[in-house]
Copies of this chain bind each other. A is one copy, B any other.
Amino acid sequence: MLEALRRFRLADQDMRARISTGMHMNVTDLQALRYVIAAEAAGEVATPRGLATHLHISTASTTKLLDRLTRSGHLTREPHPTDRRSLVVVATAHAHDEVRERLARMHERMAEIARAVPSESRPAVEEFLRAMAAHLDTEGDVPPLRPLTEPAATNGRSARGRG
């Protein structure tokens, strides 16, 4: 089961790389594009600051990212309706088309695969994945390398130290 999980992870990673290169952009840029489109679909506005936060990159890197995606014709910068320091990032029709073209079918097929899971097993699948995610959220935040002497049983820590 863990092996299947690992295989999924690798396949997912590879797929992302392929889709990105297929669209002549890198993985982060594709993530950004999807974020912008999702924001539009949700009736919200996407700002550079929001992108930076979502992607865990700096605002400076976000500026460069917007330059790339604007130059490639996927995004446009438009004035923010209320905050004149900021701006609104909008996906072009081309970007919408391209993302739909590349991802809609895949998502549909993924939903199909999900539906193929026997309904009595679905809660187990979900619980498995959620428990795994929750566990991983607590792992890895061990800032000071301990001298290997005591396990110290650090449980229940989660604060994600990125900064």
Contact = CB atoms under 8 A, between A and B. Distances in A.
For this chain, the copies found in one complex come to 2
Interface in A121-157: 121-122, 124-137, 139-143, 145-146, 148-149, 151-152, 156
Q: How large is the interface on A (under 10, 10 to 19, 20 to 34, 35 or more residues)?
A: 35 or more
Contacts of A58: none
Given A1-B117, A9-B12, A25 B137 contact: no
Contact of A159 (B24, B122, B159): B24
Interface string A100-117: 011001100111011011
Q: Name A's interface SS.
A: helix
A38 interface: no
